[in-house]
């Protein structure tokens, strides 16, 4: 039992260190900005836009897809993708949501883990957290 508790403690410490001791890294780009048109297709292995999200407020990564449906305020119909660090706490029951308004709509998704807001989403940090919780439940 002593060995199991030590292994569980070590796993939890490593998990917490990997998620909180180091800065979260998110893809940060805007396809509407010149030179960032490839923001639509950023892959998990891409590091071009991978940035440290410094500060205590940046706790998740975010991807916004915005559609301008018709000409409003001198904008032409368009779609853009914005990837950024976010201060929104992660809520697994509402990881993604949609907003609509005059002239367009927006899809917003928040996630946990370095680079999780790339076009091909990964959830390694979330999986590690779930694994730690399952181990904790198994051994207690």
Digit-coded pLDDT (tens) for 19-58: 444 589 999 999 999 999 999 999 988 999 999 998 888 9
Model pTM score: 0.68
- Residue 17 pLDDT > 70: no
Residue 15 lies in a domain: no
- Distance (Å, rounded) from C-alpha 122 to C-alpha 111? 9
Tally of domains within the chain:
1
Residue 31 lies in a domain: yes
Q: pLDDT band for position 105 (50/70/90)?
A: very high
Query: Angle, to 10 degrees, between the axis of helix 124-139 and the axis of helix 2-16?
Result: 160
Residue 16 lies in a domain: no
Q: What is the mean pLDDT of residues 120-136?
A: 47
């Amino acid at each position: 039992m002593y060995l199991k508790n030590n292994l569980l403690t070590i796993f939890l410490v490593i998990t917490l260190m990997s998620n909180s001791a180091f800065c979260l890294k998110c893809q940060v780009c805007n396809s509407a900005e010149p030179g960032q048109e490839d923001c639509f297709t950023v892959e998990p292995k891409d590091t071009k836009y991978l940035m440290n999200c410094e500060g205590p407020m940046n706790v998740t990564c975010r991807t916004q897809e915005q559609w301008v449906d018709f000409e409003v305020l001198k904008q032409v119909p368009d779609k853009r993708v914005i990837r950024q660090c976010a201060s929104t706490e992660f809520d697994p029951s509402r990881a993604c949501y949609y907003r609509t308004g005059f002239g367009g709509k927006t899809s917003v998704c928040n996630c946990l883990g370095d680079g999780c807001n790339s076009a091909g989403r990964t959830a390694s940090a979330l999986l590690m957290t779930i694994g730690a919780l399952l181990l904790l439940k198994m051994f207690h």
